[in-house]
Amino acid sequence: MERGDFDNLPGKGKPLDLTPNPYAADQELAYKILKDAGCAPEWIELDKAIRERLDRARAALARSWEWHQARLSQLAGGRAEAERQQSLSSWQTAVTAFKEEVAAINKQIADLNLKVPGSQFQRLKVDAAREVEQVCH
């Protein structure tokens, strides 16, 4: 202290945040240390990664659908049947890739559901067919 090593610490002069975490139970100190260090418990980080991965997969599927629809409107009028079939094949490939990604995401969700501290934090698995249906309509 005499050297001034503690003069510029973050939060200097501010009151301590002693607000209890209602979800921490007997691990409150551990959660507080993680929070103060800018970290989160493993299950929260995993949930965040799942949400980001699902958002990317949904966005890729939506882009593929938009491209497919635009391509079909360009090819309207009975011409270029081969190109329409190629567009349909590309869309089907995108759907297959999406379903594979959802299967991997669902495995992560199963892992997450084993790690959360309570059932209220569990996630439902993603229904790939329903997701595809929503994109198409």
Q: What is the pLDDT of residue 6?
A: 80
Q: What is the band of 108 on the pLDDT scale with cuts at 50, 70, 90?
A: very high
Cα-to-chain-centroid distance, residue 80: 39
Residue 89 placed within a domain: yes
Q: Are 35 and 107 in contact (CB under 8 A)?
A: no
* Gyration radius of the chain's alpha carbons: 24
The structural domain count of the chain equals 1
Q: What is the pLDDT of residue 101?
A: 98
Comparing 28-37, 39-48, 117-126, the range with the smallest average pLDDT is: 28-37
Residue 3 placed within a domain: no
Residues 6 or more apart whose CB falls under 8 angstroms from that of 135 comprise 58, 61, 62, 65
Residue 128 placed within a domain: yes
